Structure 1
């Protein structure tokens, strides 16, 4: 039964601990600004522009961006992405590159790689993993270094992050764009073997490797190679300015940081290998590596053999043999708790609750998929894992509209009843505004109530003062004078008038005092305004003088800095251009040698330009002309044969279609002979019939 491919269901929220961040800082991987970008709450990688997805365990094993051409070629020829490789596979590639450059003195060799390594699928019979789905293995019949890989790398799949892909030389050094759902297909290149010619060329390198392994007293091991590139602080899988055999020491341009303390180096080696804390970490290699202080011998062979790169186009070795989950995968030793399970419905619900909006819908995981515990794969404690998440839910405009329309508070109705002038005085202010007039309210004539006076604090607290007047009687009437309604109204108006007059006199006194204070303040304000203008003028003049002096002082320094930056940029550009021309020249020479091997024809330039690049291009033009001439001759020959084999068909217009006509499954020669035989028989019968002879057709048929 074909194994199920998990695809995007294997991704989950990244859990990078503070210890991991401190380790990346010590290794110098994050020393450049914006070199690393840590994900927030997304459960599926969505790298920003100019960033690629990587893992902490990949970076501490020698990976950095931009990546080495050899690693880029491996990803292309094997049809992989970075997240398809396990940490042990990354370490395999780092050790191989360090071995080639530091101890063999050659560039990483593709022919040598094919003699030592091959690819296998990682997983179980029922599950095909996507993250870490490919394992780099050593051929069983090859004697290679015992690297002492750990049996398990716990929790490495949860520690993903984004690395900045800075430009190096050209766009050809870029990492393939991230695609977390890309399926892994088995290709012919996974089992590619070196040809007889490649074995002959690399035999000296294999002999050198066996000598490094078996020389008594100077045995070289995989742990020594690992500790060496960690000690010198150069990432083997990074595109570098110089190979490791030109390593200059503490001031090398490719170093990421200063030397690690011995304790940190030992902890790092113990972390990425199967050594225990009781085993000693080698402080140096028993074989002195090539470097600036230990230069390569004279006439040292320079064997260049890179895997096919993307700009070279599709190659036959990349052809898909079958889907990866149709074959029996080769599981790598992984921790029992390093996989996410489809059990535990509670954890699945928590995972769904924290899933980012960018995350694709999770796929159904197989039942027999191994479970990895949160404690093993995370760098945090149980208390941190158990802490509830207080993250704010994502904004849902539809839900927000429902809440706003249903739970909106009602606005209380306003009292639109018009207030009288007295009610205005009572509600707005307890003291009537100076100069404001208010008409007296309607009063009950039975009980005289004095209106609010300016002297009274509040109309509610106004007292009714009785005015003692002699009670005179008019005529024989028994009603007092004060009980007359008209007299009561006069008394009310008089009291109100006296109150306003006293308030007006006091208001005039206060107004005169306020005017006097206002005149004093205006005078002081005018003086302060003049002082402020003078101070601002002096400050602006001093600032202008300071800016002028600063500009004059920084002019020469700025020019010197610009000149230095321009010289540095020009030098780096020349170095990069030289390196690129050398790489192109090597590629052209390799293509020319391949063409010569296939055609057994060599050319000599009549007037060589003594320029390797131009000479290599001239040879390539000769080879292209020869190839074009061969295609034209083949087309001419096939065109002449076409009417004989296909008399009733029209000749195709293109050479490719014409060539496919002569490569069918049936035998064209047999078909032509049958047609000729048929024509001969029909001609014979026609001649016999025309001669009117008696013929025994039974004998003719037997013949």
Structure 2
């Protein structure tokens, strides 16, 4: 088993993580996810791949997006070798391209923004999460606010079902835990001049999204957006995100999360604290079905090379000693928005995992890495300052050398005397072993390092001076005695090291002076740091106060807009109501005019359509009331004559109905009057005491109308006297009597 394999441990996934995966819709299918049982090393079943809980909640799903598949192929890495924050980097980039730039994820744009770096310290390299995606130092990118530490993510591994898409048999490379991470030329691939020119408008749009006052877009907003709409950016989808249609979109993997679950998830994948608000929406409206792309919008297509395209030149492996294996210090300081410059993705137990040997480092490019690189961040490397070449001093070098650094071979030093010889010894002296005094004026190929900085280990040059043989067997035997040899060697060492001890004391004094100077600078830096922290806290308080005021102003503006909208709606409803009232008033006025044939002109109009129409209606109403009053008086006077045996109704309407009958009341009245007249005529004739043949008079068939009219005309002068006698005043109009049938 390779050294990297020992990083794997038994999977430890909590019930809380399982419930979260269920709510996210990642376990909707029965065989979508399988959890390891007792194995401490992944052995995925057929058609399954190894993944992590923290990868899935950051936008990963199968089948994976072609852009992610191309990245894995071009960079020559496996899915488990990416850190969670690197996965989130890719999700944010795809969402940015599709929702805010209106293009598919663009490989040329990616190369302008990102590069790849190894994740590890100077003596540790990782296989799980062994590479990180970093923002280039010269690029201004979104402030993603990655968490400082993703605790225990390496222990939460599981198996995800591989689904085929687009007729590709396997989207993810089969799992190989023993595959070593090898740096490739593609890790630092840059966009060509033609690609830079083609993507210049996209970079300008990104800067505009970042810096538009009041409409700034951030990485947290983009993350919250794709988590809110329930679409996994790293999944191969039927439609791009700029066609997202809402709740019924085909790319959604679950229903909307509750507000509590969404806030908890956003805070888990970001560095937001509990007091920080979760963005409920993006300040820039993303493209979707409700906000379609503009007409003639260019959709630039640029994918990284895929496995089916064949081998690419960028996959060439380069030696670690010719390329920096982590982010330079200038990049960390200059790109505060880079995810890899901040993230500490290794848990507290990472020190227990097996540490693989670091790659060899060239003395020309040797860099110093901080221990913080163990936490998942590619940290800065410091170049050891060089000094002018000097004679090699093994005693001083032994004081300042470090046993933790790599061995760098040096050239052998030629002996100054013919009786001396060189011996290559280990860097750590064996107890009781001593070396001969070093030679003066020895020139080495490697310059000594600063007394305060670790220097590369050197092979010690040991010179053993053999004493010249003396005459006589006793002298020869004495010189051959091992103890005498040791005494001679110790004596020569003592004599040689006295001078070096004096020189070392001088250098130590110089080192102390430099240390004191550095201590003073450190105190000054600490004071400056405290002052900067105080200023930063004041600035943060002012920013929070300004943010609160801005929030209050925005709330007031929203309330004012709502009130304005409500007032406009009320005005529209009032106008519609007045229009209806005016229409009804005009209709009533026309109907009254047609019935009474009486029109009016207002003497003092108020020039208000409703009030003037109401005035017209009041005039018509006054006329109608007067007419009804007169009609009621007339009908009341005529009622006893037409209906002598009935009681007069109390209301005018019922009174009018009594006179509005099918029969002719006038004809009936005249007939009654004629009956009375005939009876009175007979009575008058009888009172004249004339003999009349009433049988002949009653024979009306013998009466001629002309003769009848002439007789009536002749009788009129006498009838006036009779009517006057009876108390009836005849009308001044001529009589219109006629026979009534």
Q: Which one has a bigger Cα radius of gyration? A: 2
TM-score in terms of structure 1 length = 0.48
